[in-house]
Structure 1
């Protein structure tokens, strides 16, 4: 065989390997890319792959059974109700005491102020997924009721107060940092804004009010503080590392309520919401311009 023939065979073999590699790369690219009109991939990493069980529209069917650590305000926040409307719907009056095992109704059936005696399951009842239609009843099994939740004495919080700039409507920024995720009203999971920051950075009350929830019972929010500012407005501060206030305490705008963290999130940030009569609104419409 001549030297020219040998060289030709070698070049053909090299060309064949290159062609095979090119075809493999094209096939791999086709597997990972979405065709036009394909299924949209939604990144939910901010909630560690778990969407919060929080409704945008009020749930109007079924009921919820009060669990330890719940407050009327946290239940209203979770299921998209205005707390006053939910209290009136269930015949609750000031000081709005609820008991473990008590049924909170969302439908038009008569609410019961007495605890429901139910055997505690060996495993916690699974939470309903956020994709559950609003028309489906919401039923959560709770432990056996034992004693009523006592009202928390209203006392001023003792944490430091930082001078802040307020908007014309009285709101101040809850922390320093860039806004990395904005409010969306088109059905997105984000019902507020996310603000980037450092671990342990101060989180401040955005306006004067009373702490009505401090805990980690609302999935997807991590360590959460909810402040009632009036009969119309509440604000929420999620993903904290540590909470510095407790339920019943009175806070001022600029008062330290928590330390920024990443609980229930994939990075350090503050998730901040303002709700008007139970409905999420865009916080940037209330906060002062920077």
Structure 2
């Protein structure tokens, strides 16, 4: 554990996590605060208040921030970097906040495989973290999956973000589970139950069925006694995740297995799904990826490393 070298910040829409880190990315202290939506017109005050104890003890420190803090609702609007995007270009496209020693990471944009515009903001830093945590991703052709509200399927080629595709898996689950007549259950969706596996197997059995043709089963199976209300969220989750994995494998058939970058809970769900679907899967600890990516950005900015 070294001396404090910089402040790393993941500033999303609803939450802010700041880390006092050494040059190798070891967390020396952490603090949390309001997200970008709650920090309108007071980003500087929020940042200064939360970091004041560290600055008093250790003196002035540079800061690297990522997430919605760099969006149109953020501190400043940082332009997207078009793909293909190597790590050094992402680092070189960070925007300085006024004259302060604070830098905000850019998001990424691309034309996806359906010839449509696509964007990400925040996930690019997790991808950089994956390159640092799993150096084998820096060579060859890889397909990353970053599950979430808007799941990102990302093609890496020799460590360069070549392209990506967004699936609204998490948001779709939330809308159907909370606001439709298909489910309406308070049971947590993350339960790795037999029901989740049953839904995955059902997707595998009918791979050509559109998701819109499968979703009503969440209702019909309850009505006819094949599914309880408590089981419905797990079945819905299995349908959405299973169909998304199969669709991604078809879309990115030229890439091998997938590497999931997620929390332990989501990783377990995807591991279960991939096992049923016979899809090769590796995993990177998503809980460590953001700090690892911010550390790589700090190192690239200061010239401590040279990554393609």
TM-score of the superposed pair, with normalisation by structure 1: 0.23
Larger Rg: 1
Higher helix share: 2
